Structure 1
């Protein structure tokens, strides 16, 4: 089995949902706990998010360089809409065409390799996740038709909310990487990815989707109808604290896992 160099994108999702989510994502970014953020363009606090990005972050999509000094309409490199929506039959083709029209070459496919073995996930939630994965599988051909690519591995369903822990993140990365490398010989099973020319060392790309922040306080937040239960949950702050845990940061260093953004993958 070839050795692997792991490039890990830790995405803080829903930047722009509410000021308290924005605050948490910025804290994680500045602490090196997330390496990429996705902007929720119809979030009620999207203007606040953009201002924070100009003053505190690199571009939300991971482009090199700070936002300060950019035009009022920066180049669009990463389009974020609710991941539950763009895999639906009525939307997937439109979404893929929009990505192509704007020169966006990458997105995510939320299919987590080790999900069926995650017995700590409540059965109703597992059924929901499996439905998301089914819709995602049906979207692969559409994205490939439009030359849209994605990282080798997606993680984030088994580690969401209360299920996020240093142990679960570490296990998800290790198990998914091992499973992926076992399939390297069968190219028909591999998703679109960056590959090292050295056959002894393969670069494995992973996206870890996260939702850190501070719980939203009604009526502030949301996408027009106030904040939902997900955003008001204590689990948002739990994710924030877990991602900033020094034990997790040390694990990345020990395993030589490189945190990066999409632009670093060469997709």
Structure 2
């Protein structure tokens, strides 16, 4: 492998949500730029996805989920789920956490159950563990999350600190507000993860590049910004590590989800648009001039 300025992980999120999603991620690995993926173990097609990743030697991590669908087991949670045994949703979970209505002991139980499910079915440790809808960097959750994955000797997670969000004029005000909060929560989580020996990449991108916002030029611009920053501040020739979070896949057409029907994003053409970007050979060629494609498995200590 050459010593290019950037070692780039391209991670396909939400594996196991539905078979069309899984097929899109697998095609993006075989034909394009995906280098790793993260599995929703409570997703409808989780077991199908594991078999497909094993067949094609796709590095697979865990997409820890505390916000969408049903828990991975039948534990009788008092705070983590509603009366229908469903998680509270992306914003509902955050609101209840802020008001002190989420038991961190239940959070620990569920995260550990998801890691164990993964190990039992995949017959291996996940190469990394990140959080669905960035739940793993929330205050209090970050400490529980880091404690659990370090206990299993899992050493890599996602650090969703994306720079220059304020300059992304294609985002709505609501998107900028939410993404900025995620970044602030992630920055506050760095010391927590470091205390447990959990590592993360030097750079991250993807908050501003979801769905139709993912374009060839914006990806190139993001990489060029990283290279320029490295050139201006680095004191050595070591490569920096980066993760690009993407959500490729064919749209769900009925079946799918995590114990609830597929959401609007999963049924929209936006996922397929991301898949086409990930399979774009011209983009891959351009990136290969600047980056070495790697995975969390490649970076294992």
Q: SS at the partner of 2:197?
A: coil
Note the C-alpha offset of 1:109: 0.8
1:81-107: CA deviations, max 9, x gaps? 314211122311110011100101110
**1-structure distance, mates of 2:4, 2:164:** 18
**1-structure distance, mates of 2:205, 2:195:** 24
Does 2:239 correspond to 1:203?
A: yes
Note the C-alpha offset of 1:80: 4.0
**1-structure distance, mates of 2:230, 2:289:** 21
Does 2:245 correspond to 1:212?
A: no
Q: SS at the partner of 1:202?
A: coil
Give the TM-score normalised by the residue count of structure 2. 0.75
Note the C-alpha offset of 1:260: 0.9
**Retained in 1: the 8 A contact 2:203–2:243?**
yes
**1-structure distance, mates of 2:233, 2:58:** 35
**Retained in 1: the 8 A contact 2:130–2:158?**
no
- In proportion to residue count, which structure has more helix? 2
Relative to structure 1, is the Cα distance of residues 12 and 237 closer, same or farther in structure 2, using a 3 angstrom cutoff?
same
**2-structure distance, mates of 1:101, 1:57:** 26
Question: Aligned ranges for residues 79-98 of structure 1 at < 5 Å?
Answer: 79-98=129-148
Does 2:263 correspond to 1:231?
A: no
Runs of 5+ unmatched residues, structure 2: 63-118
Does 2:298 correspond to 1:249?
A: no
**Retained in 2: the 8 A contact 1:114–1:172?**
no
| Partner residue, 1:129 | 179
Does 2:163 correspond to 1:113?
A: yes
| Partner residue, 2:104 | none
Q: SS at the partner of 1:12?
A: strand
Does 2:206 correspond to 1:156?
A: yes
Q: SS at the partner of 2:136?
A: coil
1:207-255: CA deviations, max 9, x gaps? 001000011122x111111111121121100000011112201102333
Give the TM-score normalised by the residue count of structure 1. 0.84
**2-structure distance, mates of 1:173, 1:43:** 32
Does 2:36 correspond to 1:36?
A: yes
1:159-186: CA deviations, max 9, x gaps? 111111110100011113322443336x
Q: SS at the partner of 1:38?
A: strand
Aligned length: 242
**1-structure distance, mates of 2:9, 2:59:** 14
1:34-66: CA deviations, max 9, x gaps? 01111111111101101211223333249xxxx
| Partner residue, 1:49 | 49
